[in-house]
Amino acid sequence: MSKIISIHSFRRGTGKSNIAANLTTLLALEGRRVGVVDTDIQSPSLHLNFGLAEAQVTFTLNDYLWGKCDLRQAAYEVTSNLAVDPDWKITGQAYLVPASIDAKEIAHVLRGGYDPSLPQAGFQKLIQDLALNVLLIDTHAGISEATLAVVALSDVLAIVLRPDLQDYEGTSLTVELARRLEVPRVLLIVNEVSSAFKATQVKSQIEAACGCEVAAMLPHSNEMLALAGTRLFTLNYPTHPLTLALKQLAAQLVA
Amino acid sequence: MSKIISVHSFRGGTGKSNSTANLSTILAAEGRRVGVIDTDIQSPGIHVLFGLDEGEMVHSLNDYLWGKCEIKETAHDVSSHLGPGMKGKVFLIPSSIKAGEIARVLREGYDVGLLNDGFQRLVEDLKLDVLMIDTHPGLNEETLLSIAISDALAIIMRPDQQDYQGTGVTVEVARKLDVPSMYIVVNKVPPVFNFDEVKSRVEQTYNCEVAAVLPHSDEMMTLASAGVFALRYPDHQVTGLYKQIAAKLIA
């Protein structure tokens, strides 16, 4: 059974894309066939994590939404980019569907809108075409119709937030909407938890405020900050506490 | 002469709302009448920094955009939440935090021209010295409009690969829109970085002045938006840098 897992957050800058990229990596390293779609059309970034150069890209998610191609044609295998050492044997596969970084194309999709039922058909077909075990979807933050359409077709919705009061209200709203859309599993990922906080206390505070289970408390990491979104944290710091916490999270998500 | 200042970032999570709240507070503490408008309709947050609860919100920006009220009726005087040191005033125009209202505005859109009228009316009605606009990240119509009518623009970025690309686009657009003064603020810089190097690299990349390079601060992270940093930590290095940015923007 393949699974669609959406990684969402109400506010931006919670680390959603970095988490999606690292979960994709961890699942592929464990031997799974994983796809990840960058649906953050307004400000795409996953291509950077996976080192997918603009020159390598023919079609993007935008082209699919405009009916110019199949979603399969916009999927790029990035498995070899995960090998820190060229001798590494990676048993799984990772595929990335990037969004366009061309300002005109971004504006085009935003201005014109697109058929919200398109992703549903496309994602199912992509899973079949690439024989995926897991499809991860990096959403655009906030509550929009396009995002809700993606959320509605997910098996699991993971909502990322920081232990910051600005994030609480919106996260609980999102949880409520996901429940109404009958998403089978909704969970929270708390990111950038300062070591000055008592993690268990913050966890129960957030669970109470948002009315939802917290699946992971990811520590704030200066190393992650210094990586500056250029590479994949879990590959660069395989034994870091953050990597270990992400591994546990990955296992929970596919369980 | 009153001024309109937009605070923007291409990506989210750069600290845009926190910066807007701090700059507004600093300008008000010096005796100005400051309006702060949250045009981040998709994911409002700045009201939390000013301690405005949902229950206290009478009208939001959404109500104005739907023609339910005048723009000045959406302004909430939050000066008293900021403590006794305020010589001036802070008026907050919040966006709605109700899911139905967020979804409606996204679904139906709104007349962007109304925003522009609203900005001008606010400045007059509340006799503002400064109107600060907390924009929605990325490039969209309302953001372009806010930028186009601004006297000064602050673009916030982190020293992060994901931010470098997008900031370039924003700077370019702002130039075409002839914003009279424009600054970049580099935020959340890891302490291990060489700050001078970051500054000159950013300035060279975008050919735009960097108003300040702010270090990542554990105190800011631990404060977790429970208040305005500059008030809690008046002598902190970051507060000093915010003052420096405020002075440039208002000049």
Cα–Cα distance, A18 to A29 (Å, whole number): 17
Q: Is the pLDDT of residue B70 over 90?
A: yes
Q: Tokens representing A67?
A: 């009916």
Cα–Cα distance, B201 to A210 (Å, whole number): 41
CA dihedral A217, A222, A223, A225 (to 10 degrees): 90
A75: left (phi over 0), alpha (psi -120 to 50) or beta: beta
In this complex, the residue of B13, B46, B169 whose CB is nearest that of residue A13 is B13
DSSP 3-state of A99: coil
- Do B28 and B79 meet the contact criterion of CB atoms below 8 Å apart? yes
A10 to chain B: which residues are within 8 Å by CB?
43
Q: What is the pTM of this model?
A: 0.85
Q: Which of A136-140, B106-110, B131-135 is predicted least confidently?
A: B106-110
The end-to-end CA distance of chain A, in Å, is: 11
DSSP 3-state of B210: strand
Q: How many CA atoms lie within 13 A of A138 on its CB side?
A: 31
Averaged pLDDT for residues B145-158: 93
For A:148-167, CB contacts with B below 8 A are 148, 162-167
Cα–Cα distance, A164 to A199 (Å, whole number): 13
Residue that is written with structure tokens 């739907």 in the block: B66
Helix (H) or strand (E) segment spanning residue A107: helix A103-112
> Which of A17, A18, A43, A108 to probe by mutation at the B interface, max B CB count within 10 Å?
A43
Q: Which of A49-58, A229-238, B114-123, B168-177 is predicted least confidently?
A: A229-238
Q: At what angle do helices B16-29 and B237-250 cross, to 10 degrees?
A: 70
What tens digit of pLDDT does each residue of B204-222 get? Answer: 999 999 999 999 999 999 9
What's residue B228's pLDDT?
Answer: 96
Amino acid code (one letter) for A9 = S
Cα–Cα distance, A217 to A138 (Å, whole number): 19
Interface contact flag, B162 A177, Cβ < 8 Å: no
What's residue B18's pLDDT?
Answer: 95
> Which of B14, B19, B42, B225 to probe by mutation at the A interface, max A CB count within 10 Å?
B42
pLDDT along chain A (255 residues), means of 10: 93 91 95 95 87 93 92 96 78 95 78 71 93 95 81 94 92 92 96 92 95 96 76 88 95 93
Q: What percent of chain B has pLDDT over 90?
A: 69
Quote the mean pLDDT of chain B: 92
Residue that is written with structure tokens 């990335």 in the block: A96
For A:66-95, CB contacts with B below 8 A are none
Nearest 5°: the CA angle A137, A139, A142 is 155
- When pLDDT is cut at 50, 70 and 90, the band that residue B27 belongs to is very high
Averaged pLDDT for residues B19-25: 97
Nearest to B13 by CA among B216, B152, B244: B216
Question: In terms of CA atoms, which chain B residue is nearest residue A178?
Answer: B99
Question: In terms of CA atoms, which chain B residue is nearest residue A225?
Answer: B190
What's residue A159's pLDDT?
Answer: 97
